[in-house]
């Protein structure tokens, strides 16, 4: 079923009677001009690897300056969905639009933080040089980075709270610190859409809370999609939770509380096993 792009909150029928008991973080003020297109508009998308159907008629919209949590079991298709948004994969059928354009046309406005495990940490490079790599698509130059780019990353290093690590080699960082460096690299590109693939996988719970607070703040100026296995945190900081297990079900997070999450998904909020 196609979902109109104006529908920001779509409740799964089985979840629509979950009681609303409030969120720990209030809604942020995010005025969006009426003519701004959805950051992501996916309609009727089916994707296969060979014969294996990974996404089956998926509809998914993310509005301008909306923050959406993407959850689901291992192998449910979350990373695949992000790769379709990035234009790295093409659907077998259906349509993917990003910021009102094709994914490839919108690519320079997308910030992507890949799964931490895929990052080669032993590369001999300093934090600030990794973050400067995020400027690559915005700036053409030979030799040393222009002053404008160096200045642009100052604010980002500060925002992500890693200014003090700028000269450190990345192989001397903790997992949580490196995660922040990768987020800073994505932000250095000044994206309008930020995609984060399990950005809190390698951080402790204090670090996780502070990262989700950052994502929540970032949604004041960009759209954010964050993959996580931790429903407990997600529900405090996002507008909606999208659950992907080959098909998509969307929850209104105002209706999700720790209790309702437990009722829906069991005690193991880190391990989500459910079938639509
Ligand atoms: N390049 C590939 N070729 C073939 N199959 C693939 C490829 N990449 C992923 N898959 C399969 O597609 C399915 C979905 O993978 P995907 O990485 O999108 O899941 P996910 O929801 O992100 O999982 P996780 O939570 O474990 O990261 C899995 O069964 C995976 O094995």
- Total residues found in the chain within this entry: 276
What is the model's pLDDT at position 16?
Answer: 32
Q: Enter the pTM of the model.
A: 0.82
Rounded to the nearest angstrom, the distance between the alpha carbon of 77 and the centre of ligand 1 is: 6
**pLDDT band for position 117 (50/70/90)?**
low
User: How is residue 71 written in tokens?
Assistant: 């959850």
Mutational test site, ligand 1, from 47, 48, 49, 248, max ligand atoms within 8 Å of CB: 49
Confidence of residue 57 (pLDDT cuts 50, 70, 90): very high
Q: What angle do CA 170, 175, 179 make, to 5 degrees?
A: 75
Q: What is the pLDDT of residue 257?
A: 64
- Structure tokens, 45: 């998308």
Q: Do 233 and 200 touch, CB atoms closer than 8 A?
A: yes
Query: Which atom belonging to ligand 1 lies closest to the Cα atom of 80?
Result: 18
Is 126 exposed, middle or buried, given 0-12, 13-18 or 19+ CB atoms closer than 10 A? middle
Going by C-alpha positions, the residue among 42, 98, 64 that lies closest to residue 220 is 64
238 alpha carbon to ligand 1 midpoint, in Å?
A: 24
Question: What architecture is domain 37-265?
Answer: 3-Layer(aba) Sandwich (3.40)
pLDDT digits (tens, 9 = 90+) for 126-158: 999 999 999 886 666 666 778 888 888 999 999
74 C-beta closer than 6 A to ligand 1: yes
The residue ranking higher by pLDDT, 182 or 269, is 182
Report d(CA 206, CA 203) in Å as an integer.
8
pLDDT band at 108 (very low <50, low <70, confident <90, very high): very high
d(CA 270, CA 255): 19
Which residue matches tokens 């995660």?
Answer: 179
Q: Is the pLDDT of residue 2 over 50?
A: no
Atom of ligand 1 at shortest range from CA of 81: 18
CA distance 191 to 5: 21
* pLDDT tens-digit map of 23-33: 334 445 566 67
Cβ of 80 closer than 6 Å to ligand 1, yes or no, is: yes
Instruction: Say how many C-beta atoms besides its own lie within 10 A of residue 108's C-beta.
Output: 13
Cβ(224)–Cβ(11) below 8 Å: no
């Amino acid at each position: 079923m196609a979902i109109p792009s104006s529908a920001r909150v779509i409740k799964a029928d089985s979840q629509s009677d979950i009681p609303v008991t409030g969120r720990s973080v209030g809604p942020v003020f995010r005025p969006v001009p009426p003519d701004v297109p959805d950051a992501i508009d996916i309609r009727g998308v089916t994707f296969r690897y060979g014969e294996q159907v990974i996404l089956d008629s998926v509809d998914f919209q993310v509005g301008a300056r909306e923050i959406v949590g993407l959850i689901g079991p291992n192998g449910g298709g979350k990373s695949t969905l992000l790769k379709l948004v990035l234009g790295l994969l093409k659907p077998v059928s259906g349509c993917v639009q990003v910021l009102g354009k094709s994914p490839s046309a919108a690519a320079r406005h997308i910030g992507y933080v890949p799964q931490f495990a895929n990052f080669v940490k032993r590369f001999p490079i300093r934090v600030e040089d990794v973050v400067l790599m995020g400027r690559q698509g915005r700036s053409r130059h030979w030799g040393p980075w222009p002053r404008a780019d160096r200045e642009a990353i100052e604010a980002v290093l500060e925002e992500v709270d890693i200014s003090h690590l700028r000269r450190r080699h990345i192989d001397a960082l903790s997992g949580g610190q490196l995660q922040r460096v990768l987020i800073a690299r994505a932000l250095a590109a000044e994206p309008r859409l930020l995609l984060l693939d399990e950005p809190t996988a390698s951080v402790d719970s204090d670090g996780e809370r502070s990262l989700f607070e950052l994502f929540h703040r970032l949604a004041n100026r960009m759209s954010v999609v964050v993959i996580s296995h931790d429903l407990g945190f997600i529900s405090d900081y996002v507008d909606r939770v999208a659950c992907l297990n080959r098909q998509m079900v969307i929850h209104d997070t105002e209706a999700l509380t720790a209790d309702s999450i437990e009722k829906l998904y069991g005690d193991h909020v880190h391990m989500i096993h459910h079938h639509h």
